[in-house]
Chains A and B, each alone.
Chain A
Amino acid sequence: MRDEVVGRQAELESITSAIGRPDLAGVVLIGEPGIGKTHLLEAALRRGREVGFATERIAGTRALADLPLGAFASLLPGRPSGDVGDLVSLRDELRARAIDRPILLGVDDAHLLDDASAAVVHQLACDLTVFVIGTVRAGVIPPDAVTALWKDRLADRVEIGALGHEAMARLVESRAGAVPEPDVTDAVWRRSGGNPLFAVELLQSAIGAGSIVVDGGRLSMVGELPTPTSVTELLGARLVGLDPAERSALDLLAVGGTLDVTVMEELVHPDALVRLEGLGLLVADETGSGLDLRFAHPLLADAVLATTGRLVVRQLRRRLADALEARGGAQTDEVLRIVTLRLESGGSSPPPMLTSGALIAMRRQDHALAERLARVAYAEQPTLPIACLIAQACTEQGRAEDAITALTDPAIDRTAARPTHRVVAAALEAQIRFWSLGDAPGALDRLAAIPPDDAADHQRHIDGTMAAIHAGRGDVRAALALTADPATADTEVGAAARIVASVGAGEPILDLDDDLLTRFAAAPGWSVALSAHVFALAEVGRVDDARSMALDLWEEAVRRHSPHGRVGWAIALGTIELTSGRLDSAGRWFDEAARLAPFTAATGHGRRWALGGALVVAMHTGDRDAADRLAAELEQMTFPGSGFGDLLGLQGLAWRAALVHGSDVGVARLEQLASEAIADGRIGDLVHIATDIARLGHAASGAALLDRVASGGTLPVTGDLLPTLIDGVRALAANDVETLSATADRLAQLGAGLLAAEAAAAAFALAEAAGEEQRALATRQRRAQELRAGVGTAFTPALAAAPTEIPLSRREREIATLVAEGRTSREVAEHLVIGVRTVESHLARVFRKLGISSRAELAEALQLGRTLEGSTT
């Protein structure tokens, strides 16, 4: 298949032009089976190699579609990938092989990729490690990560259609080495429907049967074309007449997907492989460590499987598993393939191999497979560690009840388990009970029930877990008390609890040592502690630092292919952007988190938080439809308590209640939340709630709530943001225009853009109501406009209360515009045929109204006004 692709010049150019577009990281060829996608893919890779690209090729196969990272098996180093993760080792391997050249990654039959491989392809494209050229069968739904390539506009789609009549003539000529008579081209073209693979197979079979003959350099029809009506059927015809060894080799390949040549040579005679290669049925690709065999065309696998008996398949799987194990596969990640093959063939493997496989499957995010393998191991050996594995796999799939059932199974021999295992199992059960089922008492009871002998050496771990549950449900006093001992706070979960609790208490801990932070970052999945640290930064007013840290961690999570991490950091970033008033950006992050959250149903917590954030954004931008939709889903959810992250959702619901039923109803809800916060000692949360109440027009109620916990007028909060918010609420309640204006400036400095704009708008509205002198009033309005312009799409009651349009008469606007363009008063006067004095006096009024004092400021002031008018209408 080394000839040129006929009739596909335009498609090849689409591929090369995509490679030259910096905004793309791939191109996907879509078309029906046999239409020439594989051929085009190979031609593109070949040309790529010629001009200096490194090229790699993987393929989705039916045989490996259920094995996580199965498609990448040949690229994964033959050793356990361990802690660095498969993505990292894959990337290292690819780069090592590319030796500094850019990489084109061919992905044939991408619709058959297993989910983990699809996610890795997406990831490698996103981070520019490779440029992907994929093929996808038309009408088949590929894995989400593949679809995302073009949905996210990372890849172009190129539709591969049927060949035209003229191209068909050239194809026939190139394959037969003779010029076809018109009736030959006609017949082949009609029967194949312009499908090149079909046409070529048809041609070969017709020449073989003598219905088309080569004579004097010309092809003529002398009989009827063969009858097969599908490509698979035609390909099947090529399998007839193979000897048993050859057939067995093809069967093995169909069952095994891609196979290393040494494994194949142990199972079938090497000569058979050589013959199959000669017949154009097999192809060998070089890999890092040797040669991989695959079908010359993916459709051949279908043709082979269609004619292989089920019992033969079972037997082949067993033989394949044995061969893989015989060459040491059980000691590497290949153990997953071995145990899976055995299971599919009705056999089994020893429990240690099954649990190794389950752990690999967990790491590759295939929790269903992990659960299946762990359960087979458990049936033979019902131990506590295996039960924990099952519980984790169930939790990851959003089945917390099943996880609890697994952990509490009476069949487990607990006395045989080590104390450490018993404590870990109890802590796991407690965490699932709380974070997934919202059952705080049950979770705490479980921890309290750990026998003292077991607890002795693990008290810190237990205390930390308990504290995390208290912190999570919002009981910050209890959490802080349990983590007061530095030894407890030094465990990961203890530190997490302490930070979460302290953010709620309004005195965020920021002096975490780097060691601890690094440990959190390296921990798999989403670390509550790190995100709490980011919130702590935002809470003290270091919004830019918080954003930058969260972005780094987000990218780290993306790199590690950690869905938990991505959800966690998307939420953190959404929350930070919300604080800073960048609502569009906040909305995008929350949407991203909500999109990913169903896949990490570990807690349901992430989704609640993401939807809550999105609801607040919708409320702040006046997007009623989105708000209705989000509120409907949130109302269905149970909130285990107004704990870490739940506040946003509850605030969002309160805002919506204010909009739908009137501000009194919304404020009453917020007051309820405030009472709970006070009872729990969550002073930080209280300040945010009081601020919301003030923003909804009930500043006096907000200030009164703050006074309930103030002693001597001050609240126990630290940092810059929270005290500023308190000042703002009190100033609003006291109609203190000056303090409110100063608060606006302070909030702007701290990066809290939306709140700053609202405070400035409120200051202007108050000053206007108080009849402030016109020039001072105009200055306040200008400041409000400036801050308003920084929060684009925001549309909140506080902003709406202050008019932002510039109150210029038509004449004043006309003159101001001309002056802003750089004309002198005399030029304006001549242009409008009025006196210079008239121009000057109009101008003086304009300056006063706009709160400016020079012509130089005019252009900017007018521009600002236009921007605002544009954004609010």
Chain B
Amino acid sequence: MRTLHERVGGDAALEEVVGALYERLSADERVQHFFDPDRLPELRASQVRWFRSVLGGAPPEDRPDIAAAHAGLTITDDHVDAVLGHLSVCLHGVGLEPDVHRQVMALVKRLWLARQF
């Protein structure tokens, strides 16, 4: 069976999605303060690694520690909605099948909420 990573279109598609995502995040007043312009390349690379692992394209130990990355940040539901909205648009941008798009979004949302338990 194909992993979500493969169905999304592999690393090439992920790079594209994450690149577009950080462009939008940096331009969005609601959330841009979270993303230090000097660290963008590093953040992007880390985000790609996170997606790759979460979507089954790399083992769990390759996943960057999101908890550490978010430590000390005050993240509200509005921030989350903003980021997820941008992510959804960027995933559409690489022409995913609706079902794959839905699955990726469902997974990301679930993992986020799981951390709130």
Contact = CB atoms under 8 A, between A and B. Distances in A.
Interface string A36-54: 0000000000011001110
B111 to A, nearest CB: 6
- Which one of B55, B106, B109 has the greatest number of beta carbons of chain A within 10 Å? B106
A56 to B, nearest CB: 14
Interface in B14-34: none
B117 A102 contact: no
B117 A16 contact: yes
Contacts of A48: 113, 117
Contacts of B60: 21-23
B54 interface: yes
Contact of B103 (A16, A20, A53, A127): A127
B107 interface: yes
A47 B110 contact: no
Contact of A53 (B54, B55, B113): B113
B68 to A, nearest CB: 15
Interface in B75-117: 77, 99, 102-103, 106-107, 109-111, 113-117
B2 interface: yes
Contacts of B110: 19, 53, 102, 131
B56 interface: yes
B103 A128 contact: yes
Given A47-B117, A102-B106, A20 B111 contact: yes
B67 to A, nearest CB: 10
Contacts of B111: 20, 22
A551 interface: yes
Interface in A30-78: 47-48, 51-53
Contacts of B53: 22
Nearest to B81: A100
B107 A128 contact: yes
Interface string A533-556: 000000000000000000100010
A48 B114 CA distance: 8
A19 B2 contact: no
Interface string A541-576: 000000000010001000100000000000000000
Contact of B2 (A102, A128, A551): A551
A52 B116 contact: yes
A21 to B, nearest CB: 8
Contact of A16 (B102, B109, B114): B114
Contact of B117 (A23, A51, A129): A51
A127 B99 contact: yes
Contact of A128 (B106, B113, B114, B116): B106
Contacts of B102: 128
A51 B117 CA distance: 6
A99 to B, nearest CB: 12
Nearest to B77: A52
Interface residues of A, number: 20
Contacts of A21: 60
Given A51-B116, A127-B99, A22 B109 contact: no
A48 B116 CA distance: 9
Contact of A129 (B2, B56, B106, B116): B106
B56 A23 contact: yes
A573 to B, nearest CB: 10
Contacts of A131: 110
Nearest to B115: A20
B99 to A, nearest CB: 7
Given A101-B109, A102-B109, A551-B2, A19 B114 contact: yes
Interface in A596-649: none
A22 B107 contact: yes
A57 to B, nearest CB: 18
A19 B106 CA distance: 12
B78 to A, nearest CB: 13
A709 B44 CA distance: 61
A489 to B, nearest CB: 31
A128 B102 CA distance: 9
A47 B109 CA distance: 16
A131 B103 CA distance: 12
Contacts of A51: 113, 116-117
Contacts of A53: 110, 113
B87 to A, nearest CB: 13
A559 B103 CA distance: 13
A20 B107 CA distance: 9
Contacts of B115: 20
B117 A22 contact: no
Interface in A101-141: 101-102, 127-129, 131
Contact of A22 (B54, B99, B113): B54
Contacts of A20: 111, 114-115, 117
Interface string B51-78: 0011110001000000000000000010
A16 to B, nearest CB: 4
A131 B110 CA distance: 9
- Which one of A19, A22, A131, A559 has the greatest number of beta carbons of chain B within 10 Å? A22
Interface string A1-38: 00000000000000010011111000000000000000
A131 B112 CA distance: 14
Nearest to A558: B1
A190 B53 CA distance: 48
B56 A22 contact: yes
Contacts of B113: 19, 48, 51-53, 102
A719 to B, nearest CB: 26
B64 to A, nearest CB: 13
A19 B110 CA distance: 7
A128 B105 CA distance: 10
A102 B109 CA distance: 6
A129 B105 CA distance: 10
B106 A22 contact: no
Nearest to A101: B109
Contacts of A52: 77, 113, 116
A604 to B, nearest CB: 26
Contacts of A19: 110, 113-114, 117
Contacts of A102: 106, 109-110, 113
- Which one of A128, A129, A555 has the greatest number of beta carbons of chain B within 10 Å? A128
A101 B114 CA distance: 12
A595 to B, nearest CB: 13
Nearest to A126: B1
Contacts of B55: 22
A549 to B, nearest CB: 13
A556 to B, nearest CB: 10
Contacts of A101: 109
A127 to B, nearest CB: 7
Contacts of A127: 99, 103
A129 B106 CA distance: 7
A106 B55 CA distance: 24
Contacts of B107: 22, 128
A854 to B, nearest CB: 29
A158 to B, nearest CB: 15
B103 to A, nearest CB: 4
Nearest to B55: A22
Interface string B29-43: 000000000000000
Contacts of B77: 52
A533 B77 CA distance: 49
A234 B21 CA distance: 59
Nearest to B80: A52
Contacts of B116: 51-52
Contacts of A129: 106
5 contacts: A16-B114, A22-B60, A22-B107, A51-B117, A53-B110
Q: What are the 6 A-B residue pairs with the smallest beta carbon separation, nearest first?
A: A20-B114, A102-B110, A51-B116, A16-B117, A19-B114, A22-B54
Interface of A: 16, 19-23, 47-48, 51-53, 101-102, 127-129, 131, 551, 555, 559
Given A19-B110, A22-B53, A128-B103, 8 more contacts: A16-B114, A16-B117, A23-B56, A51-B117, A102-B106, A128-B102, A129-B106, A131-B110
